[in-house]
Amino acid sequence: ETGVTQTPRHLVMGMTNKKSLKCEQHLGHNAMYWYKQSAKKPLELMFVYSLEERVENNSVPSRFSPECPNSSHLFLHLHTLQPEDSALYLCASSQDQGNYGYTFGSGTRLTVV
Amino acid sequence: AQSVTQLDSHVSVSEGTPVLLRCNYSSSYSPSLFWYVQHPNKGLQLLLKYTSAATLVKGINGFEAEFKKSETSFHLTKPSAHMSDAAEYFCVVAPYNQGGKLIFGQGTELSVKP
């Protein structure tokens, strides 16, 4: 374990379902991130939270809704997704501006059917 | 604009032979640079990082990388490949004063033949 835990590891959901991805870090970091990794594409930054405030929303569709209730937890709420949203969703955390790197979780493999 | 280019999408080596994964970056100021590794269906693990200290950086599992400012390169090397090194490798740049945003290369898939 890296210190960043993501649950569930795998998720299959229908296009009309509502589900949430959870990320938890025990590293004392003050910034957390959601990334999307699709097959054969570079990692896409979705959201950045710094000190529990969203500081970046990278033109992500509204069917993805992040929530950061405290500095240790980050959620990604999913609603009416499309099949093209199937991907590996990675959570990461860092101290301050991440100039010393991020610590990533193992990801949630999402399949939308 | 900041960017990072991994020059090979796929590299294949034989077990016991050297590994070279190439990375070039573009950044206005002195960036922080990283190499991450991702094994199948796993998250990204930090291999090593350069943060303006020594230009030759040693990482985990015998990997190292050299920061060459004149060539804007940060190539990853290992003297002798092991079967367990087969994975995808990402070169990453953290531009100076960009609020923690990391810029990822496209990734290089390393295959290791017995």
CA distance B20 to chain A (A): 21
Over the stretch B30-76, which tens digit does the pLDDT of each residue have? 788 999 999 987 889 999 999 877 889 999 999 999 999 899 999 99
Average pLDDT in the A64-86 region? 94
Average pLDDT in the B84-113 region? 88
Smallest Cα–Cα separation from A73: which of A49, A55, A95? A49
pLDDT at B29: 74
Smallest Cα–Cα separation from B25: which of B3, B46, B9, B44? B3
Per-residue DSSP letter, B104: E
CB contact (8 A) between residue A48 and residue B46: no
CB proximity under 8 Å: B 21-80 to A = 32, 34, 36, 41-46, 49, 51
A90 vs B contacts (CB less than 8 Å): 43-44
Going by pLDDT thresholds of 50, 70 and 90, the confidence category of residue B1 is low
d(C-alpha A48, C-alpha B39), whole Å? 24
Smallest Cα–Cα separation from A92: which of B74, B80, B32, B46? B46
Over the stretch A6-30, which tens digit does the pLDDT of each residue have? 999 999 999 888 999 999 999 999 9
With an 8 Å Cβ cutoff, is A99 touching chain B?
A: yes
| Distances, alpha carbon B107 to alpha carbons A54, A57, B53, B66, B104, in Å | 28, 24, 25, 18, 8
CB contact (8 A) between residue A99 and residue B102: no
Average pLDDT in the A77-105 region? 89
Average pLDDT in the A82-98 region? 90
CA distance A107 to chain B (A): 6
> For B51, which of A45, A100, A104 is closest by C-beta distance?
A100
Whether B92 shows a pLDDT value over 90: the answer reads yes
pLDDT at B31: 81
CB contact (8 A) between residue A105 and residue B43: yes
> For A48, which of B32, B49, B100 is closest by C-beta distance?
B100
Lowest-pLDDT choice from A16-20, A37-41, B98-102 = B98-102
Chain A: residue nearest B10 by CA? A40
Average pLDDT in the A44-49 region? 90
pLDDT at B100: 65
